[in-house]
């Protein structure tokens, strides 16, 4: 990171641009003042149990990688107050949108990280997460960019290390090639098992699914979302 407020994009990072339109003054103030209070500090030793990261007692900890505008993360953290959620989003405007929402709907069971998710995964202790969500990630559709897709053998190794046995890895996308890519990579990884039992399972949204703006856009444009769930063996 170049400094605490503006992460530097790695050459082979799994995310794209870091900034969009100029932030409004209130949003900029939230990034400067509120984000440091919620940011997971990787300069500190990782706790033996990540539940210690939260201001309230939590029974389990889940991770959402690339939360976009935060709609799903805000919904889940409100729906399950006894679960701690860590949300990762390097895109400054997405982070600012979530922080604005937290003004009206505080979440003491929520922590944030605004840099590369792999750094957080390497920092977390083994078998410490009850679940990981990767929802509508950047598909990197050009073949020369496939190596920048988050789903890879190396990153599945990372997920396997930090997920508890029985924990779920949930992946949603409207891009067929990325869905196929994920199915193949998880099929070939010894730590993960696809849970689908019927042909309709992978087109059925997750229980309590609130939808996201990315999903709504995909449906408007005629792309059918897929919802994959894999269990950590």
pLDDT value at residue 212: 87
Q: Three-state SS string across the chain, please?
A: CCCCCCCCCCCCCCCCCCCCCCCCHHHHHHHHHHHHHHECCCCCCCCCCHHHHCCCCCCEEEEEECCCCCHHHHHHHHHCCCEEEEEECCCHHHHHHHHHHHHHCCCCCEEEECCCHHHHHHHCCCCCEEEEEEECCCCCCCHHHHHHCCCCHHHHHHHHHHEEEEEEEEEEECCHHHHHHHHHHHHCCCCEEECCCCCCHHHCCCCCCCCCHHHHHHHHCCCCCEEEEEEEC
What is the Cα 58 distance to its own chain's centre? 19
pLDDT value at residue 7: 44
The Cα–Cα gap between 232 and 194 comes to: 9
pLDDT value at residue 13: 55
pLDDT value at residue 21: 78
Q: Which residue in the list 49, 138, 174, 188 is annotated as catalytic?
A: 138
Q: For residue 104, indicate whether it is catalytic.
A: no
**Digitized pLDDT (tens) for each residue of the chain, 233 residues in all:** 333 344 444 444 555 446 667 888 999 999 999 999 999 999 999 999 999 999 999 999 999 999 999 999 999 999 999 999 999 999 999 999 999 999 999 999 999 999 999 999 999 999 999 999 999 999 988 889 898 999 999 999 999 999 999 999 999 999 999 999 999 999 999 999 999 999 899 999 999 999 988 899 999 999 999 999 999 99
Domains belonging to the chain, first-starting first, are 25-232 (3.40.50.150)
pLDDT value at residue 214: 85
pLDDT value at residue 162: 98
The residues pairing with 229 across neighbouring beta strands, listed in sequence order, are 170
Here the tokens at position 53 are: 């990261």
């Amino acid at each position: 990171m170049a400094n605490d407020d503006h992460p530097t994009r790695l050459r082979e990072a799994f995310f794209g641009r870091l900034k969009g339109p100029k932030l409004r003054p209130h949003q900029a103030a939230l990034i400067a003042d509120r984000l440091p209070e919620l940011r997971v500090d990787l300069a500190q030793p990782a706790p033996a149990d990540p539940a210690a990261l939260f201001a309230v007692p939590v029974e389990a900890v889940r991770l959402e990688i690339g939360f976009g505008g935060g709609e799903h993360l805000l919904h889940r953290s409100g729906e399950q107050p006894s679960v701690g959620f860590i949300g990762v989003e390097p895109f400054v405007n997405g982070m600012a949108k979530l922080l604005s929402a937290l003004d009206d709907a505080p979440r003491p069971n929520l922590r944030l990280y605004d840099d590369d998710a792999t750094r957080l995964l390497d920092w977390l202790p083994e078998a410490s997460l009850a679940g990981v969500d990767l929802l509508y990630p950047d598909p990197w559709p050009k073949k020369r960019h496939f190596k920048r897709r988050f789903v890879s053998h190396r990153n599945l190794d990372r997920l396997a290390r930090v997920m508890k046995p029985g924990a779920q890895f949930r992946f949603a996308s409207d891009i067929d090639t990325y869905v196929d890519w994920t199915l193949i990579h998880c099929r070939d990884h010894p730590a993960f098992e696809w849970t689908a039992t019927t042909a309709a399972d992978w087109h059925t949204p997750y229980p309590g699914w609130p939808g996201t703006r990315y999903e709504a856009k995909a449906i408007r444009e005629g792309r059918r979302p897929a919802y994959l769930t894999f269990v950590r063996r």
